[in-house]
């Protein structure tokens, strides 16, 4: 099913969207469990990591937060960075499903931290991490807004698919907590 993004007399239709911002939040219990696990692995079992291997996956700690005020992608990114951490990144089908659960079936859209900077063509997230997973709608990204359009990605919250949208469109916001 094709979305009706374009209105011949008004250009892109305004659409209700959510900005996804990322914030890492751990409960005291989670922090305690993680520290105890590291303590046991590193100290009690005398296991040591090779130099430089101290990376803990943050995917377990991502939460997403809804912000209802309409914003362009750049405004949403600025707001997310000032208030939380950044626009949402989606690194797996499971994370995409978590986003979909937030407003499933609502027909709304949400900005995520992916944009086409014309040099890397959808290669990096706004937090500079590499793009490793995509869930584009069939035919997307297509840059149909205009030849000079700066494209940003929005998630269709009914389907979980991603759309290439003009970054200057205003939408509501989701942030990662």
∠ at Cα 129 (126, 130), nearest 5°?
A: 110
Q: What is the pTM of this model?
A: 0.65
Token pair recorded at residue 70: 């309409």
Determine the Cα–Cα distance for residues 151 and 144; give it in Å rounded to an integer.
Answer: 9
Mean pLDDT per segment of 10 residues, for the chain of length 177 residues?
A: 37 41 48 48 40 41 69 87 84 86 69 81 86 94 69 86 87 53
Give the start-to-end residue ranges of the domains of the chain.
12-24+62-176
Strand-by-strand arrangement of the 86-87 sheet: 86-87, 21-24, 62-71, 171-176
Q: Which residues contact 169 (CB under 8 A, 6 or more apart)?
A: 12, 14, 15, 17, 72, 73
10 Å CB burial of residue 131 (0-12, 13-18, 19+) is middle
Q: What is the pLDDT of residue 140?
A: 92
Token pair recorded at residue 40: 């046991």
Determine the Cα–Cα distance for residues 113 and 87; give it in Å rounded to an integer.
Answer: 5
Determine the Cα–Cα distance for residues 137 and 32; give it in Å rounded to an integer.
Answer: 41
Asked if residues 15 and 145 have their Cβ atoms less than 8 Å apart, the reply is: no
Q: What is the pLDDT of residue 177?
A: 46
The torsion angles phi and psi of 130, rounded to 5 degrees, stand at: -75, 145
Token pair recorded at residue 163: 């759309």
For 36-161, list the strands marked E by DSSP. Answer: 62-71, 86-87, 109-115, 151-156
Q: What is the pLDDT of residue 110?
A: 80
Pick 12-24+62-176's CATH classification: 3.40.50.620, 3.10.100.10, 3.40.50.720, 3.90.45.10: 3.10.100.10
Q: Which residues contact 70 (CB under 8 A, 6 or more apart)?
A: 170, 171, 172
Taking alpha carbons only, the member of 108, 114, 113, 142 closest to residue 14 is 108
């Amino acid at each position: 099913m094709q979305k009706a993004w374009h209105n011949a007399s008004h250009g892109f239709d305004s659409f209700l969207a959510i900005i996804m911002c990322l914030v890492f939040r751990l409960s005291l219990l989670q922090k305690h469990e993680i520290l105890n696990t590291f303590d046991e692995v590193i100290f009690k079992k005398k296991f040591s990591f090779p130099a430089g291997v101290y990376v803990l996956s943050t995917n377990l700690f991502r939460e997403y937060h809804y912000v209802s005020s309409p914003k362009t992608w750049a405004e949403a990114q600025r707001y997310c960075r000032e208030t939380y951490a950044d626009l949402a990144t989606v690194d797996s089908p499971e994370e995409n499903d978590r986003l979909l659960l937030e407003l499933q079936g609502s027909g709304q859209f949400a900005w995520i931290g992916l944009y086409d900077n014309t040099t890397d063509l959808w290669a990096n997230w706004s937090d500079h991490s590499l793009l490793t997973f995509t869930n584009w709608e069939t035919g997307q990204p297509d840059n149909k807004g205009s030849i000079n359009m700066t494209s940003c990605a929005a998630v269709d919250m009914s389907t979980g698919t991603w759309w290439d949208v003009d970054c200057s469109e205003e939408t509501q916001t989701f942030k990662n907590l």
